[in-house]
Amino acid sequence: MAKDWYPIIDEEKCSGCLICANFCPHDVYEIVDERPLVVRPDNCISRCHGCENQCPELAIRYYGDNGDFIPSGGGIIEL
């Protein structure tokens, strides 16, 4: 299971622009069916916020950031 800090994409807000996946230097995301997916959450650097700051739709939050947003299933997509 992932560590205690990783990005979670709000699918309802995400426009599919892929800025997050293209910006992330830690290879956290993969692009699947033209959508960004968090597939390597352990690669995320704790407190980075890089992809979140790039997201024009404000669709990225972090598990472990403040504990108030934990998606069902943990927010991690297994490929």
Q: What is the per-residue pLDDT for 4? A: 78
Predicted pLDDT of residue 76: 52
Per-residue pLDDT of 12-67, as tens digits, reads: 999 999 999 999 999 999 999 999 999 999 999 888 889 999 999 999 998 876 65
Is the pLDDT at 78 greater than 70? The verdict is no
pLDDT value of residue 2: 44
Mean pLDDT of the chain: 84
Q: What is the pLDDT of residue 70?
A: 47
The second-level CATH assignment, the architecture, of 6-66 is 2-Layer Sandwich (3.30)
CB–CB of 13/57 below 8 Å? yes
How many angstroms separate the CA atoms of 52 and 47, rounded?
Answer: 11
CA-CA distance, 44 to 75, in Å (whole number)?
14
Integer Cα distance of 22 and 65 in angstroms: 22
CA–CA dist 17, 70 (Å, integer): 23
